[in-house]
Amino acid sequence: MNMTMKIKYDEKEKQRLEQMLLYESQCFNAGYKYVAGIDEAGRGPLAGPVVAAAVILDPSIKMPGIKDSKKLSENKRQYLYEEICSKAISIGIGIVDENIIDEINIKQATLLAMKNAVKDLKIKPDFLLIDAEKLEDMDIPQLSITKGDALCLSIAAASIIAKVKRDKILIEYDEKYPEYGFRKHKGYGTKLHIECIRKFGLLPIHRKSFTKNI
């Protein structure tokens, strides 16, 4: 179904994409060639890893529909994930599991995942656009953008990649632990998930620092 999905590319969508490319355009005008957008998925759930993605887009290739992953249906997210994977210059992924989250806290785990995503890129970026975070100890110029996944195209693309990657991991957990409903709640603290924890207990994939009071 995803392969046949068409997203309208009219004048309104063209203008929206141009607006979302303003940060990248400023970087290109300043002489930077490879600009990576960085975002994460899974900061808030009770179970599973935090996943970050770094995406270097080719601004000459138009991919209508890219926006903050939270504003997309699952079908559109999957379609755009495939589009980005086939058309991006490079994509890097960073995954930090629940054990490290418990050890160093979710903030530090998120930053670690983002750094690992940058390191995973096949082409070293010369500028980073990051959703609401700053990466210390990196020799690459960067800009932190509040609500970057809604304002910056490459960060929005990274939000889609990170979200789909993490959802796939949680669906695998659902197959391993079917009684917990991971396919439905993706590890977030929904009523269903909390009821399952109280009924069946904590799993190895649960974040102990997030589930102390359940």
Whichever domain contains 65, its CATH number is 3.30.420.10
Question: What pLDDT does 6 receive?
Answer: 74
214 belongs to a structural domain: no
Pair of tokens at residue 54: 């770094």
Tens-digit pLDDT profile for the chain (214 aa)? 444 577 888 999 999 999 999 999 999 999 999 999 999 999 999 999 999 999 999 999 999 999 999 999 999 999 999 999 999 999 999 999 999 999 999 999 999 999 999 999 999 999 999 999 999 999 999 999 999 999 999 999 999 999 999 999 999 999 999 999 999 999 999 999 999 999 999 999 999 999 998 9
Question: What pLDDT does 109 receive?
Answer: 98
207 belongs to a structural domain: no
Question: What pLDDT does 189 receive?
Answer: 96
211 belongs to a structural domain: no
95 belongs to a structural domain: yes
210 belongs to a structural domain: no
Q: Residue 42, class by beta-carbon neighbours within 10 Å (0-12 exposed, 13-18 middle, 19+ buried)?
A: buried
Domain hosting 146: range is 2-200
> Considering its fold, how many domains does the chain have in total?
1
Question: What pLDDT does 5 receive?
Answer: 75
Closest CA to 21 of 157, 158, 153: 153
How far, in Å, are 54, 76, 117, 158, 174 from residue 110 at the CA level? 13, 25, 11, 14, 23
191 belongs to a structural domain: yes
212 belongs to a structural domain: no
Residue 183 to residue 151: CA distance in whole angstroms: 29
98 belongs to a structural domain: yes
How many residues can be counted in the chain? Answer: 214
